Structure 1
Amino acid sequence: MKDMLDSERSRAAEWFRTLRDEIVGAFEKLEDNHSDGPFAEMDAGRFEVTTTKRHSDDGSDAGGGLMSVMRGGRVFEKVGVNVSTVYGQLGPQAQKAMAARGVPGMEDDPSFWASGISLVAHMQNPHCPAVHMNTRMFWTPHAWWFGGGSDLNPCIEYDEDTAHFHATQKAHLDPHGTEHYPRLKEWADEYFYVPHRGRARGVGGIFMDDRNSGDWEADFTLTQDIGRAFLPAYVPLVEKRRVQAFTDADKDTQLVHRGLYAEYNLVYDRGTKFGLATGHDANAVLMSLPPLAKWV
């Protein structure tokens, strides 16, 4: 593992940045095209981009990334698209978490490198579903793996929207083997479950972690197609739902569902825990939280 070429890690990091650029452009286009229906009188939203830094214990360079957040747009109430590449030494808490996942040798050499993209969108119109997506690569001298996926989180569910989202994911996964979609769908159903509420966070999607088949190129290509599936799976749903009229009761339903989303991300989400434990920019890590939520 120590001999993994820098070019492989560079290719992964460059891909996550390319995907970030495509998504930011597509979301700003949605803002520009929203000329009728609720919120159309508002100014089209634009992403604010800031540089993030990981803070190492000894003050050495530990990487960072870009945090891109749009607030108060016509379509998106809050959406963040973050990309980062971080590296250095894992602290004791993170080492213990890696060891629990079966990564050997962390106590001898806790060096790591990680890169990825993370996206969460909270929408103005309660008929538009919230969504989450991330893909990432993680490397240590002892192991490497890919992970990620995307899941749909509507507060008002439409069966046809759920079917489209899942069918698009499946179409992108099937060329890699028809066994992938059912397995990753089941994984998402298990991962995005909220035990203390006894329910799923949303209507599911696909998810994988610790992906290392032994063929880096194949696993990288699979991860790329998980990322490529996102826009065609999600954008048509936003285009269809953004013009629908809604009631105060619909908005209340949205805010309550956002409370469920916040609970999951703060209590269970592995990425949130890792980001905070390894000293990454807290604002970037907690970008996923909605701007407004309520609890009953």
Structure 2
Amino acid sequence: MGCPMDNQRRQAAAWFRELRDRITFAFEALEDRGPGDAPEGRFVVTPTERANDGGGGLMSVMRDGRVFEKVGVNWSEVHGTLSPAAQKSMAARGVPGIADDPRFWASGISLVAHMQNPHAPAVHMNTRMFWTPGAWWFGGGADLNPCIEYADDTAHFHATMRAACDPFDPEYYPRFKTWADEYFFIPHRGRARGVGGIFYDDLNTQDWDADFAFTRSVGEAFLPAFLPLADAHMAQPFTNEDKDQQLIHRGLYAEYNLVYDRGTKFGLETGHNADAVLMSLPPMAKWV
């Protein structure tokens, strides 16, 4: 695009891509030691392109594995002009200059995992950088979505997220934990979709290097936060009632992502590949 912050944008996009590579490698390694005699799951990688403007990414989806029933790890780098709806939404959030100049650039990684074993928690993570001619910011976070909650799992996940935040600002974890609790709440159900984690957006302290370092810390905390939980529960015995409970909980997850999730709305409004945008949806769900 030939405009300011080219170097920073290249750094961010390259790091998000590297994180995507590390996570997919770790998930396939988990599949290799997963329970049962079924073939180990492997990611199918599909390049994606935006229907409008420029850029695209990689959609990486694994289905019907030993450990993962469905997991997507997507990376993207896109640019172009915001739709009027997206432009209006960002202007309402106070993004400087966006009402007059709708150009944008964005890159990030987005991950959602739905597990075979109902005792193993579903999980979501994303980190991203967004640029407009008048502003730049980082956003992201990670949250745990068990259908059968284990207090030790919740404590471990939150402790790992806190450890990622505290070296940068002792107020980050309590602030971003509260943000996650509020953001991932499902108003029409009167409940959260999971046990939370952290969520932040519009992060710009005027120190790009510090904000990028914090975003890297959040991304790098994901595997230590989640892999021990998947490892501990992937071979745990479960009943038909446990599986039924999992499918009902997935219905909550689908409702949230289709009705409230800002990233889903943005991806569809800006013409990104619909399959990539909606990869977060579970492979099976149930409503009662």
Could you state the TM-score of these two structures normalised by the residue count of structure 2? Answer: 0.98
Query: Is the aligned partner of 1:55 residue 2:51?
Result: yes
What is the one-letter code of the residue matched to 1:4?
P
Query: Is the aligned partner of 1:31 residue 2:31?
Result: yes
Deviations 1:229-264 (A, max 9, x none): 100000000000011000000000000000000000
SS of aligned partner of 2:166: helix
Q: Distance in 2 between matches of 1:72 and 1:293?
A: 15
Gaps of 5+ in 1: none
Query: Is the aligned partner of 1:213 residue 2:209?
Result: no
Deviations 1:20-62 (A, max 9, x none): 000000000000011x4xxx12100000000000111xxx5x1
Query: Is the aligned partner of 1:262 residue 2:234?
Result: no
Q: 2:171 aligns with which of 157, 174, 179?
A: 179
**Residue pairs, 1:277-292, within 5 angstroms:** 277-292=269-284
RMSD over aligned CA atoms reads 1.0
Q: Distance in 2 between matches of 1:178 and 1:95?
A: 33
Q: Distance in 2 between matches of 1:3 and 1:122?
A: 39
Match in the other structure for 1:16:
16
**Residue pairs, 1:102-141, within 5 angstroms:** 102-141=94-133
Match in the other structure for 1:46:
42
SS of aligned partner of 1:249: helix
User: How has the CA–CA distance of structure 1 residues 120 and 109 changed in structure 2, closer, same or farther, with 3 Å as cutoff?
Assistant: same
Match in the other structure for 2:135:
143
Match in the other structure for 1:190:
182
Deviations 1:266-295 (A, max 9, x none): 000000000000000000000000000000
Deviations 1:104-157 (A, max 9, x none): 322321110000000000000000000000000000001110000000000000
Work out the number of aligned pairs and report it.
Answer: 287
Q: Identity of aligned pairs, percent?
A: 70
Deviations 1:74-122 (A, max 9, x none): 0000000000000011111111111111113223211100000000000
Q: 2:148 aligns with which of 144, 156, 166?
A: 156
Query: 1:172: how far off?
Result: 1.4
Match in the other structure for 2:157:
165
Query: 1:71: how far off?
Result: 0.2
What is the one-letter code of the residue matched to 1:28?
E
Query: 1:199: how far off?
Result: 0.4
Query: 1:3: how far off?
Result: 6.0
What is the one-letter code of the residue matched to 1:48?
V
Q: Distance in 2 between matches of 1:108 and 1:166?
A: 40
Q: Distance in 2 between matches of 1:284 and 1:146?
A: 21
Q: Distance in 1 between matches of 2:4 and 2:189?
A: 43
Match in the other structure for 1:5:
5
Could you state the TM-score of these two structures normalised by the residue count of structure 1? Answer: 0.95
Q: Distance in 2 between matches of 1:125 and 1:74?
A: 9
Gaps of 5+ in 2: none
What is the one-letter code of the residue matched to 1:208?
Y
Q: Distance in 1 between matches of 2:99 and 2:15?
A: 31
